[in-house]
């Protein structure tokens, strides 16, 4: 679905035509040499894979019957030189798969990618880095992969090191870097080695707030000042809105919407949050991550009833069930961020550092009560995070649960504040 004119052909720097990607579920057989040769013969003649199977759409919320799934189906779009394209969608919508295809990390099952110039990508923490090499050596390695000479890389080296903030560790093997340090250096390498197209996945979320601000500013400079193209994937709608000019929404591996960025965000948030039916309960579908895990979260009132709709001034009680990891002996925090309907971070609550007594339990129940007096009527979502302060996040769930604040005469003035008011917060006050 498109609601925006397509870019003019003469200025197009990247074009995706009928991109699809199919994966086989479960154990994958090796096939035969004859089959592989037949696939190769069809591919060099521009024909479809003769062994391609009919698969199902990429919908993780339902159990399918086919052994094959389409991670992407018939993706078509164009990007102009100097444009910043936002790619948004739920977890599992196909965003990372699309970026891997655009970055030529993996090949599409069908379709073609046409591009002009070098593509640098920042997809997953540590992608493109050799852990045994130092930070400095990895800068030269990545530059060489982009086709740059040693002299060209050396000319940019000081800027890369300064921007990354890794001066002290630049001659230390990357395998000893924290995830945040790795991402900072990887972003600096991708941004300062001047590719024509820069592809950025959600990995920026690993960095701290100061670095995220620097990174977004650099991406704006890249697109507006230097005329290079950026493809940006993020769950942070505030960052997408400030950075991107146009966007696409992926849903079950297909383009559900394409257009001007404000239209795209509104379309996505209306579908994502589905605030007609607020969801006050979050349960983990799987627990494959390492480290402490968030298993369940519920929003309740003080009486212990699960609720999704609160009046302004009500106490909102968050009940969080955590599964500790006995191997993690450091103090870690449970944090929940309140976002407005556009995904902009509005407020934060933290448990502080948890005590060692929690380590011996199979599960932990944490309760947190907040006064909702400061929330204007409207729709909100909660991001749940477990992390070690100053280090990495163990578990991070965006828009895990959502709730609604309805109008209420909190100051007993006979006047109710409604969602049409523009401020982001409301201060409880007394009047004489």
Domain boundaries, the chain: 9-17+76-272, 281-406
pLDDT digits (tens, 9 = 90+) for 404-422: 887 655 555 555 555 445 5
pLDDT band at 355 (very low <50, low <70, confident <90, very high): low
Q: CA separation (Å) from 296 to 5, 131, 186, 315? A: 44, 35, 34, 20
Q: Who has greater pLDDT, 320 or 52?
A: 320
pTM beyond 0.85: no
Q: What are phi and psi of 222, to 5 degrees?
A: -60, -45
How large a percentage of the chain has pLDDT more than 90? 16
The continuous run of DSSP H or E covering 211 comes out as helix 209-220
The DSSP secondary-structure symbol of 233 reads E
Residue 289 has pLDDT above 60, yes or no: no
Q: What is the CATH number of domain 9-17+76-272?
A: 3.40.50.300
How far apart (Å, rounded) are the C-alpha atoms in residues 346 and 194?
A: 35
- pLDDT for the residue 408: 59
DSSP string of 296-332, one letter each residue? EEEEE-TTS-B-SEEETTPEEEEEEEEE--TT--S--
Contact 389, 353 (CB under 8 A): yes
pLDDT beyond 90 at 255: yes
Q: What is the tens place of the pLDDT at every residue in 157-212?
A: 999 999 888 899 999 999 898 878 888 888 888 888 778 888 888 766 666 667 77
What mean pLDDT is predicted for residues 358-375? 77
- Contact residues for 56 (Cβ-Cβ < 8 A; gap 6+): 64, 65, 66, 68, 69, 70
- Tell me the CATH number of domain 281-406, given options 3.90.1150.10, 3.40.470.10, 2.70.50.60, 2.30.30.180: 2.70.50.60
Each residue of 75-91: pLDDT tens digit? 999 999 889 999 998 88
Check if the beta carbon of residue 13 is closer than 8 Å to that of residue 79.
Answer: yes
Q: Stretch 272-292: mean pLDDT, rounded?
A: 57
For CA atoms 206, 212, 216, 219, the dihedral sign is negative
pLDDT in tens, 177-191: 887 888 888 888 888
């Amino acid at each position: 679905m498109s609601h925006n004119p397509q870019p003019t052909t003469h200025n197009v720097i990247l074009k995706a035509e009928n991109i699809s990607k199919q994966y086989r579920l479960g154990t994958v057989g090796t096939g035969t040499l004859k089959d592989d040769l037949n696939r190769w013969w069809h591919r060099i003649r521009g024909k479809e894979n003769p062994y391609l199977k009919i698969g199902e759409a990429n919908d993780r919320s339902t159990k399918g019957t086919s052994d094959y799934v389409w991670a992407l189906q018939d993706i078509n779009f164009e990007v102009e030189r100097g444009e910043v394209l936002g790619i948004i969608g739920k977890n599992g919508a196909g965003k990372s798969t699309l970026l891997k295809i655009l970055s030529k990390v993996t090949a599409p099952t069908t379709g073609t990618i046409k591009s002009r110039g070098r593509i640098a990508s920042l997809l997953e923490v540590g992608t493109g880095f050799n852990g045994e090499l130092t930070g400095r050596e990895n800068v030269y390695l990545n530059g060489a992969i982009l086709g740059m000479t040693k002299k060209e890389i050396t000319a940019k080296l000081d800027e890369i090191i300064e921007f990354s903030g890794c001066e002290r560790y630049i001659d230390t093997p990357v395998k000893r870097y924290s995830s945040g340090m790795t991402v900072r250096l990887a972003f600096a390498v991708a941004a300062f080695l001047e590719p024509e197209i820069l592809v950025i996945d959600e990995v920026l979320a690993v960095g701290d707030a100061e670095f995220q601000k620097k990174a977004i500013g650099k991406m704006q400079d890249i697109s507006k000042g230097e005329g290079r193209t950026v493809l940006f994937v993020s769950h942070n709608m505030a960052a997408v809105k400030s950075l991107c000019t146009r966007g696409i929404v992926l849903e079950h591996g297909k383009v559900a919407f394409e257009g001007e960025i404000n239209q795209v965000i509104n379309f996505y948030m209306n579908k994502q949050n589905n605030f007609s039916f607020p969801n006050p309960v979050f349960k983990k579908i799987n627990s494959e991550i390492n480290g402490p895990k968030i298993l369940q979260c519920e929003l309740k009132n003080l009486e212990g009833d699960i609720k999704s709709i609160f009046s302004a001034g009500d106490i909102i009680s968050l009940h969080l069930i955590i599964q500790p990891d006995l191997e993690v002996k450091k103090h870690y925090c449970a944090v929940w961020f309140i976002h407005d309907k556009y995904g902009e971070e509005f407020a934060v609550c933290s448990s502080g550092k948890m005590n060692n007594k929690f380590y011996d339990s199979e599960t932990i129940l944490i309760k947190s009560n907040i006064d909702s007096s400061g929330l204007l009527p409207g729709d909100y979502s909660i991001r749940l995070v477990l992390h070690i302060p100053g280090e990495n996040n163990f578990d991070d769930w965006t828009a895990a649960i959502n709730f609604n604040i309805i109008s209420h005469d909190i100051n007993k003035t006979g006047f109710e504040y409604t969602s049409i008011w523009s401020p982001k917060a409301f201060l409880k006050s007394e009047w004489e």
